[in-house]
Chain A
Amino acid sequence: MRAFTDTSRTRLAGRAWVRALVAVVLLTTASVARAQSLLVPMDDGQRNHLKAYGLAFQAIKSSQRAEWFLNYRGGSFLLPDAADLRRRAALDGISIEPVSDADVSRIRVEVAGGNMDAVVLERAPRVAIYRPKDQPPWDDAVTLALTYAGIDFESIWDDDILNGDLSKYDWVHLHHEDFTGQFNKLYLAYRDAPWFIAQRQRDEATATRYNLPNVPALKKSVADGIRTFVENGGFLFAMCGATESLDLAISAFAVDITGPFSDGTPVASDADARLDWERSFAFRNAHIEPSPYVNALSDIDGHQVNVPARRQPLGTFTLFDFSAKLDPVATMLVQDHRTVIPDFFGVTTSFNKAVLKPGVTVLASEDGAPWVKYIHGDYGQGSWTFLGGHDPEDPQHAIGSAPTDLSLHPNSPAYRLILNNVLFPAAKKKPRKT
């Protein structure tokens, strides 16, 4: 009896131990099963919006499934619950929320029922930034944003474009370059500055190498290479002075619009009339600024920051809402946790409405102002996006100013616009319904 009892006790104890073990295993399995995905919120619950794009980019680069929930919690991402992603989120201070399949199903129901959509991110785009090897004394917001977010890119310059290397990339960014070849008319103030002299000599040497007569001719050839890249299906994102000068250079392919300080000849007297706006991306019927003493290229820019007598003050710009299901591209480009954003100056700060081509999609504008801030359009098989201004977190940025430290602006809503552009070529193409 005693033995039986002891044995029974032993068996009972053994059973209890087994039950406890099973319970632990079940609980553990349940907890593992509960977190099958990571939701990266992009609303005010996110501690580092900019790095979150880098996390999504890493996921698609390593062939993991990633989705972009447009308009859901500020345009959040759904990523697999992978150890490498969790680790990177912890290192970069990115807020993540482990979610179960049931949670994801609930989110999908919510997305299906509102002005939201889920876009699959397929393949990390090959990114190129047009920037010289010897960087001039200003910085480029896109270079800053991509570097900070940890998104890979390569630098390309005139030689690469003239040699046809653009076709290696899906996405190219332009920032500050003056494609009219007038060096942003900085000749007026900086002609004796060593960096300006070096820049001029570098471009003249490149022109000579390609048997082109001068810098304007060189830059026009480069601009045409970029135009062809987009026409053939590339994605172009341009900011600051590159927006205006690229379209001017493309439309002035057959006419001299540059002053004698850049090519030795005066501006053609009928230059305005001979601009071919059929070739341009975004603008038409703009008037070039022929005076070498007025630091503006044309009347495309509404703010004219470098012409004190014409300069307009900064206000705020508002992002437009689009139908996520019908117009996913425009919706992707405006994903943000803020809709009203402080404006910032650049060589070209904004785009006058009067010179926009029909069919250009306005993504953001300033209420009551005759200009817009952020525009997008299709061209051939590709598309382009222009964002006015130089550095969203340094609205008065000047030559010689220190570069912006984005670790001080991890939630910058305007920098998010740049990163939307980097990520949207990764989206699996859906037929556009509008």
Chain B
Amino acid sequence: MELFGIFFAAFLINNILLIRFIALCSFFGVSTKLDTSVGMSSAVIFVMTISSAISWILYHFILAPFHLEFLRTATFILVIAGLVQLEELYLKKMIPHLYRAMGIYLPLITTNCAILAVAFLAIDYRYNFLQAMVYSLGVSFGYSLAIVLFAYIRERMALAPIPKWFQGYPIAFITAALMSLAFLGFTGMFGL
């Protein structure tokens, strides 16, 4: 039940895109089409889970014992960048289908702030390893949910008669704000 709570809180109540406003660049950048947003979210789920696992282990077994907590930003960036490269090499050789499906989004994730944020938050919340894993899964699924929903809306908006001065990013920001308001409605659910 506690794990479910962590997952659900990360998934909906503290949705990383719509409530925390982290990783907005990719939220607006790749949500113009449904298939690009699906590609991006699959890459995020993949990288976020693995990188938060590695960074949790590094933090608790190397940085914390030596009292080098202040190094975590540099260390985590190193971990994420290295890991993305490694995964790219691995996928290219072993699972070319998945590699082609993720395409450009895999290297793009290196600079995605959501990945770094999750690695930090899992430590700030003092989660144990299992909890951290469930948390990062919840965040990445929440990311996917928000970006896919947003892509559906933006595909419709491309055809809608929007006034010229609202076309493009202005209407996208307004829509995101309305979606964010809707997600605020989850606050307080299950006493979370």
**A, B co-complexed:** no
Q: Which residues of B approach A to under 8 Å, CB–CB? A: none
- A residues with a Cβ closer than 8 A to B are none
